Amino acid sequence: MAEILKGAPVAAALSEELIRRAAALRGAGILPTLAILRVGERPDDVAYENAAVKRCEKVGVSVRRVLLPHSCAREALLDAVARINDDPAIHGCLLFRPLPDRESEAAACALLSPEKDVDGCTAGSLAAVFTGKGPGFPPCTAQACLELLDYYGISPAGKRVAVVGRSLVIGRPVAMMLQSRDATVTMCHSKTADLAAACREADIVVAAAGQAGLIDASCVRAGQVVLDVGINVTAEGTLRGDVRFDEAEPVVKAITPVPAGVGAVTTAVLAKHVLQAAERSL
């Protein structure tokens, strides 16, 4: 039986610390504030937004929603980003991606100030992830993986890690962050020749492919820690991870559930990044 690495205690511990830091900022006359910029009404965006607002309110981060219609012109989007950049009362901005128009998305990410980019979408933020220096923040989900490992006392140092997925949202930044913490990282993707073997070799597997049940019994072995980042909605409307929990859980040492695993930590990391941005503005 594996240890189940639930996200809720991690988020609760983070929130406790964040409440103290938000109070200190308010004492210094600063109301830490997040702008949420959403285009359209994608149900997964709306669900995440509601969870983010709830978490922020709980820890004392104020939220301003900037909502644009699905059909909005690129100029309207860029104008909204420019206003957020120019508003000294806003410390962080969450820009929902993917946007309906990928070119507009690239332009918005290029325009957003890295200092306010609390979800790692700008080149400045990604450069900070890769160099360890500069403004910006890693994507919240990538950071959530690290927070989860830290909370449960699992050090990546000296471990072999397989990261399944190489997107800029999760796979690549989490691989780089784990490497910075002295892990030896193998990045796997859709062209990896023998995914099961690459995963079995690892001490820690981070599954971030967006393929329900991709990591099955053939990919796991005793003693492993498995972080399942995948959120896949089935035809019946239920959530499934990238890992076959029923096959992996009896074998591995520790595993995150889906839902209530990595995803439950992400909004707490978002609030943490807003507070860090506000603290930097002092």
Q: Which is nearer to ligand NDP, 82 or 239 (CB)?
A: 239
CA dist., res. 141 & res. 266, Å (int) = 5
- What residue type is 277 in one-letter code? A
User: Smallest distance from the beta carbon of 212 to ligand NDP, in angstroms?
Assistant: 8
- Interacting span for ligand NDP (CB under 6 A) from 85-93, 124-132, 167-175, 198-206: 167-175
| Binding of ligand NDP by 54 (CB under 6 A) | no
| Binding of ligand NDP by 186 (CB under 6 A) | no
| Binding of ligand NDP by 226 (CB under 6 A) | no
| Secondary structure string (H, E, C) spanning 213-273 | CCECHHHCCCCCEEEECCCEECCCCCEECCECHHHHCCCCCEECCCCCCCHHHHHHHHHHH
Instruction: Retrieve residue 112's tokens.
Output: 């957003």
Q: Which of 22, 169, 198, 206 binds ligand NDP (CB under 6 A)?
A: 169
Q: Which is nearer to ligand NDP, 72 or 169 (CB)?
A: 169
Q: How many helices (H) and strands (E) does the chain have?
A: 10, 11
Q: Which of 32, 114, 156, 230 binds ligand NDP (CB under 6 A)?
A: 230
Instruction: Retrieve residue 257's tokens.
Output: 């559930």
CA distances, 72 to each of 84, 104, 170, 281 (Å): 17, 10, 27, 31
β-strand partners of 163: 187, 206
- Interacting span for ligand NDP (CB under 6 A) from 72-80, 164-172, 196-204, 244-252: 164-172
User: Smallest distance from the beta carbon of 219 to ligand NDP, in angstroms?
Assistant: 10
- Interacting span for ligand NDP (CB under 6 A) from 100-108, 174-182, 187-195, 249-257: 187-195
| Binding of ligand NDP by 65 (CB under 6 A) | no
* Contact pattern for ligand NDP over residues 131 through 150, marking x by CB under 6 A: ----------x---------
CA dist., res. 215 & res. 54, Å (int) = 32
Q: Which of 61, 206, 208, 278 binds ligand NDP (CB under 6 A)?
A: 208
| Binding of ligand NDP by 257 (CB under 6 A) | no
| Binding of ligand NDP by 231 (CB under 6 A) | yes
8 A C-beta contact, residue 23 and residue 31: no
Q: Which of 85, 167, 218, 276 binds ligand NDP (CB under 6 A)?
A: 167
Which run of H or E residues covers position 36? Answer: strand 33-39
| Binding of ligand NDP by 166 (CB under 6 A) | yes
The residue written with tokens 């994507």 in the block is 139
Q: Report, in angstroms and rounded to the nearest whole number, the Rg of the chain calculated over CA atoms.
A: 19
Binding site for ligand NDP (CB under 6 A): 141, 164-167, 169-171, 188-192, 195, 208-211, 214, 229-232, 262-263, 266
